[in-house]
Chains A and B, each alone.
Chain A
Amino acid sequence: EAGVAQSPRYKIIEKRQSVAFWCNPISGHATLYWYQQILGQGPKLLIQFQNNGVVDDSQLPKDRFSAERLKGVDSTLKIQPAKLEDSAVYLCASSSGGTGTPEQFFGPGTRLTVL
Chain B
Amino acid sequence: AQKITQTQPGMFVQEKEAVTLDCTYDTSDPSYGLFWYKQPSSGEMIFLIYQGSYDQQNATEGRYSLNFQKARKSANLVISASQLGDSAMYFCAMREGEAGGFKTIFGAGTRLFVKA
Enumerate chain A interface residues (CB-CB to B < 8 A): 33, 35, 41-45, 48, 50, 55-56, 89, 91, 93, 97, 101-106, 108-109, 111
Contacts and interface: CB of A to CB of B under 8 A. Distances in A.
Contacts of B18: none
A27 B104 CA distance: 21
Contact of A43 (B33, B44, B91): B91
Given A42-B106, A45-B105, A101-B50, A91 B45 contact: yes
B103 A45 contact: yes
Interface string B93-116: 101000111111111110000000
Given A35-B106, A42-B108, A109-B44, 20 more contacts: A41-B108, A42-B4, A44-B106, A45-B103, A45-B104, A45-B105, A48-B102, A50-B100, A55-B101, A56-B101, A56-B103, A93-B45, A97-B99, A101-B50, A102-B33, A102-B50, A103-B35, A106-B45, A106-B46, A108-B44
Nearest to B105: A45
Interface in B73-100: 91, 93, 95, 99-100
Contact of B103 (A43, A48, A108, A111): A48
